[in-house]
């Protein structure tokens, strides 16, 4: 028998109240705090209500794995806010080695699939983000123009801590800053971004057969990206 202690539900109802700077979730009138005991002030009532729903959905044992919005909000307050520049710079650096810039040389079917899926996003980035990416075929690194990197960095730096928290998974999981920015700007949804990031993987699966572990890992990434997209949307909705 496991002796590991697990937190149990101790409240009757979760609710939301507006406070200075946003909204907070309360459990029987006691405000929710981050694991580090910091005030969990949410930027919108919509996000607070969704987080309150996660707390209300806990039956007996509190399971953080079923509370992705709460975990993301905790990260925004405890991790992203105090090291905002470091997180933003890390994400902006993806622009220099963006997935969409690196194309296969062969076979032709994969080359075509990448071009069909990725070229519209490269065009979008050039037009909307003023970031025309250079494209290379093969594994030889290609340097992007300083102006491109500057404009992409400005996009990231212009976010708040909650937006940056959402963008983190939308960039690091597919391996593309352009795909992440396309989701938060409404050009793509997370599911489409996930599919575009897996063109190579799907090609290999079709050619050599599916791998159950790889498919499970891909499904987990999709769930995380969907959660990040929802976190972004709720943190913008009044």
φ, ψ for residue 102 (rounded to 5)? -110, 115
Instruction: Compute how many other C-beta atoms are within 10 angstroms of the C-beta atom of residue 23.
Output: 20
What does the block give as tokens for 151? 């404009």
* pLDDT for 163: 98
Round to whole Å and give the CA distance between 194 and 196: 5
Round to whole Å and give the CA distance between 180 and 193: 8
Residues present in the chain in total: 238
Sign of CA dihedral 149, 150, 152, 157: positive
- Paired strand residues for 23: 18, 42
Domain 83-236: homologous superfamily in CATH: ATP12 ATPase (1.10.3580.10)
Which of 20, 92, 5, 22 is closest to 234 using CA atoms? 22
Count Cα atoms within 13 angstroms, Cβ side, for 159. Answer: 29
Q: Could you read off the pLDDT tens digit of each residue along the chain, which spans 238 residues?
A: 344 556 877 888 999 999 999 999 999 989 999 999 999 999 999 999 999 999 999 988 888 899 999 999 999 999 999 999 999 999 999 999 999 999 999 999 999 999 999 999 999 999 999 999 999 998 889 999 999 999 999 999 999 999 999 999 999 999 999 999 999 999 999 999 999 999 999 998 888 777 889 899 999 999 999 999 999 999 997 6
* pLDDT for 7: 82
Q: What is the pLDDT of residues 8-48, one digit of tens each?
A: 778 889 999 999 999 999 999 899 999 999 999 999 999 99
The pTM of this model reads: 0.92
* pLDDT for 152: 98
φ, ψ for residue 24 (rounded to 5)? -135, 160
* pLDDT for 46: 97
Residue with tokens 């190579």: 200
């Amino acid at each position: 028998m496991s002796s590991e202690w697990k937190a149990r539900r101790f409240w009757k109802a979760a609710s939301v109240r507006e406070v200075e700077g946003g909204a907070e979730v309360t459990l029987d009138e006691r405000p929710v705090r981050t694991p580090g005991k910091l005030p969990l002030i949410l930027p919108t009532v919509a996000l607070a209500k969704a987080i309150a729903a996660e707390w209300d959905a806990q039956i007996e044992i509190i399971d953080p794995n079923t509370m992705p919005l709460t975990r993301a909000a905790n990260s925004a307050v405890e991790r992203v806010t105090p090291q905002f520049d470091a997180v933003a710079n890390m994400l902006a650096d993806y622009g220099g080695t963006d997935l969409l810039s690196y194309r296969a040389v062969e076979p032709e079917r994969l080359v075509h699939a990448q071009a069909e899926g990725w070229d519209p996003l490269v065009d979008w980035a050039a037009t909307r983000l003023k970031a025309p990416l250079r494209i290379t075929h093969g594994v030889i690194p290609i340097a992007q123009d300083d102006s491109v990197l500057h404009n992409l960095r400005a996009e990231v730096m212009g976010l708040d801590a909650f937006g940056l928290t959402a963008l983190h998974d939308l960039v690091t999981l597919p391996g593309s800053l352009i795909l992440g920015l396309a989701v938060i700007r409404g050009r793509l949804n997370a599911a489409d971004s996930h599919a575009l990031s897996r063109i190579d993987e799907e090609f290999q699966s079709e050619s050599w057969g599916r791998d159950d572990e790889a498919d499970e890992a891909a499904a987990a990434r999709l769930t995380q990206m969907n959660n990040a997209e929802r976190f972004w949307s709720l943190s913008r909705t009044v």
